[in-house]
């Protein structure tokens, strides 16, 4: 999967969890950048946790 395809997939996942388009894009870029620099503990391995925290409103995304 190419970076843009991966980014679009992550954005779609965040949008499904009611994150705004802007925040979805920022989060997707951050996750991909973490992977690219080798900081895997903040990359794709955390995507499910981030989504769960958004659903439980542990992460305040409506600022």
For range 23-27, the mean pLDDT? 93
| DSSP result, 6-24 | HHHHHHHHHHHTT--HHHH
pLDDT number for residue 63:
53
3-state secondary structure of 54: helix
pLDDT tens column, 27-44 = 999 999 999 999 999 899
Asked if pLDDT for residue 26 goes beyond 90, the answer is yes
User: Is 3-55 a domain of CATH 3.40.190.10?
Assistant: no
Global pTM?
A: 0.85
State residue 59 phi and psi, 5-degree precision.
-95, 125
What are the sequence ranges of the domains in the chain? 3-55
Asked if pLDDT for residue 61 goes beyond 80, the answer is no
Other Cβ atoms less than 10 A from the Cβ of 55: the count is 11
What's the rounded Cα separation, in Å, for the pair 28 and 5? 11
Residue 47 pLDDT grade (very low, low, confident, very high; cuts 50, 70, 90): very high
């Amino acid at each position: 999967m190419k970076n843009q395809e991966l980014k679009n997939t992550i954005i779609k996942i965040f949008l499904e969890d009611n994150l705004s388009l802007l925040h979805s894009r920022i989060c997707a870029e951050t996750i991909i950048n973490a992977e690219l620099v080798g900081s895997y503990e903040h990359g794709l391995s955390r995507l499910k946790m981030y989504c769960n925290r958004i659903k439980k409103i542990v992460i305040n995304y409506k600022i």
